A and B are shown apart, each in its own frame.
Chain A
Amino acid sequence: MDKIPREDIDIKKQLKEVSTNALRCMQCGVCSSSCPSGRHTNLNIRKLVKNAGTNSDILKSEELWMCTTCYNCQERCPRRINIVDTVLEIRSISAHQGIILPEHRLVCQMLLKYGHAVPINDKYKIKRVEIGLEELPETVHKYTDSLNEVKELLTSCGFERFAENNTNEKQTTEITE
């Protein structure tokens, strides 16, 4: 796999920082044997923990996104390593590099536009009324001012970057293939 193109040294530093806790790993394998995803996918959480702070290829690995964050591994780890929390931190470094799956980019676009990851549609507006609820729930769907607050807050945090189709889209395509 290609090297991460930019700020490589900085990324390695970041990876090392978020993975310090994982250095305590003795590779006992309790995590992998507890992993429901690992039974059915390529996710090898033990290997991922081993490589966490040392190999920046991890940022482009599809397996990074196969964790359902069920926390079985973290609960059972005899060394009390925060495995899932570390996975989330590594995912974040990856996403900040623009490496993000197209479907996840779409979920970000939904949040920015509607304030919900799964917004309402006409079919469910009708269904709501049919069972005796109001057409729109008491959420940002009903209150424009509230939706604007959400948008303003996300802008303040710089969240738009995760929804934009940027120059790193090629990397994303590589991941999904």
Chain B
Amino acid sequence: MKGLSLFLGCLVPNRYPGIELATKLCLATLDIDCSDLPGASCCPAPGVFRSFDKTSWLALASRNIVLSEEMERDVLTICNGCFSTLADANHIIQDDEKAKEEVNIHLQKIGRKIKGNIDVRHIIEYLYQEFGPEKISSFVQRPLDIRIAVHYGCHLIKPTKERGLGSSERPVFFDELITALGATSVDYPDKMACCGAGGGMRSAMKEKSLKMTEAKLAKIQEADVDCIVNSCPFCHMQLDSGQDEIKELSGTEFEIPVLHYTQLLGLALGFPAEMLGIDIGIEKNRKLMELLDSRVKP
């Protein structure tokens, strides 16, 4: 198996560093060969930058891929947006010789060249395909007896022709990685619905984007879960900070804890919440930690 390099993106290191730390702790515990990827930039974000200019989007994505090619490692992403950009760009480079040549003209100016000889992975599909739920559960130190609303996010699986992870209508692989930790993945209406942040909506039309988030959160609340678990820091931000923003806009309160899968996995592997950046200063997360402590399985 080829080693990996960890692509951080923007939101994880710059807004949710706990996810970065949780990822590193989980990778080390599972003995996955993964290095830092020094000098990487924004992926760049698929919704906005690809919308503006495909050439710049592809060139910058290619530079990030080249950094990992030079280390002879596959890229590991922990964000659906980064996965969308880097996997799509990688497919273009591998399938379209003309596009690859054009990109290399730009890359030549910074002394680099893309080959198209590595893969781009997302931590959820990597853990599912390379480990599988059964092997993951063999690492569990602290089974998590809680009810979870899984949020896949759009770009982990769609467009399906690019991702190759099966149908996007009722996927189960992420749910299986949740139940592998002892938790219950609770079904809820509109489970596959978008968080509302993508495509530049959160940046330019925040109130409109939050209407989508509010609809999704309302369905999750009705399902009576202990927390939401996602695989994308952009969805994470929309579902987490979005709760505060919705409260300010419409007065609706949710108070549903939000965790990235690496943070949930970290808890199950036995790491304390503070080492996983599950900020116990956030009231909703503190309550979740109390609940977990009261439900430790023998």
When chains A and B are docked, how far (Å) is the Cα of A146 from the Cα of B20?
A: 21
- Given the known interface contacts A104-B200, A118-B15, A150-B41, the answer about A157 and B21 at a Cβ–Cβ threshold of 8 Å is no
Q: Does A50 contact B (CB under 8 A)?
A: no
Q: Report chain B residues within 8 Å CB of A65.
A: 199-201, 204-205
Q: Chain B residues near A74 (CB, 8 Å)?
A: 158-159
Looking across the interface, which residue of chain A has its beta carbon closest to that of B167?
A: A75
Q: A95-B53, A104-B204, A117-B45 are in contact. Are A133 and B20 (CB under 8 A)?
A: yes
B142 interface hit (Cβ, 8 Å): no
A52 at the interface (CB under 8 A from B): no
A61 interface hit (Cβ, 8 Å): no
Smallest beta-carbon distance A30→chain B, Å: 13
B27 in the interface (beta carbon within 8 A): no
**Complex Cα distance A120/B36, Å?**
18
Instruction: State the CA gap A68–B49 with chains docked (Å).
Output: 13
Binds A, one of B102-110, B117-125, B254-262: B102-110
A66-B205 Cα distance, complex, nearest whole Å: 8
**Number of chain A interface residues as a range:** 35 or more
Interface string of B201-213 (1 = CB under 8 A from A): 1011100110110
The answer to whether B89 has its CB under 8 Å from any CB of chain A is no
* Known interface pairs A71-B154, A143-B38; A104-B45 also in contact (CB < 8 Å): no
> Quick check: A139 and B198 within 8 Å, CB to CB?
no
Cβ A69 vs Cβ B198 within 8 A: yes
In this complex, what residue of B is CB-closest to A154? B56
Q: A53 near B: Cβ within 8 Å?
A: no
Interface residues of B in 163-178 (CB under 8 A from A): 168-169
Given A139-B8, A146-B39, A131 and B200 contact (CB-CB distance below 8 Å): no
Instruction: Among A68, A108, A150, point to the contact of B194 (Cβ < 8 A).
Output: A68
Query: B167: shortest Cβ distance to chain A, in Å?
Result: 9
Cα distance A104–B36 when bound, in Å? 30
Is there contact, CB below 8 Å, between A37 and B44?
A: no
Q: When chains A and B are docked, how far (Å) is the Cα of A92 from the Cα of B63?
A: 21
Contacting pair A96 B53 (CB below 8 A): yes
* A84 on the B face (CB < 8 A): yes
* CA of A171 to CA of B169, assembled, Å: 39
| B interface list, Cβ under 8 A from A | 8, 10-11, 13-15, 17-18, 20-21, 36-42, 44-56, 59-60, 63, 106-107, 109-110, 112, 154-155, 158-160, 168-169, 190, 193-194, 196-201, 203-205, 208-209, 211-212, 215, 274-275, 277
Interface residues of A (CB under 8 A from B): 36-37, 39-41, 65-72, 74-75, 84, 88, 91-92, 95-96, 100-104, 106-108, 111, 115-121, 124, 127-128, 131-133, 137-143, 145-147, 149-150, 152-154, 156-159, 162
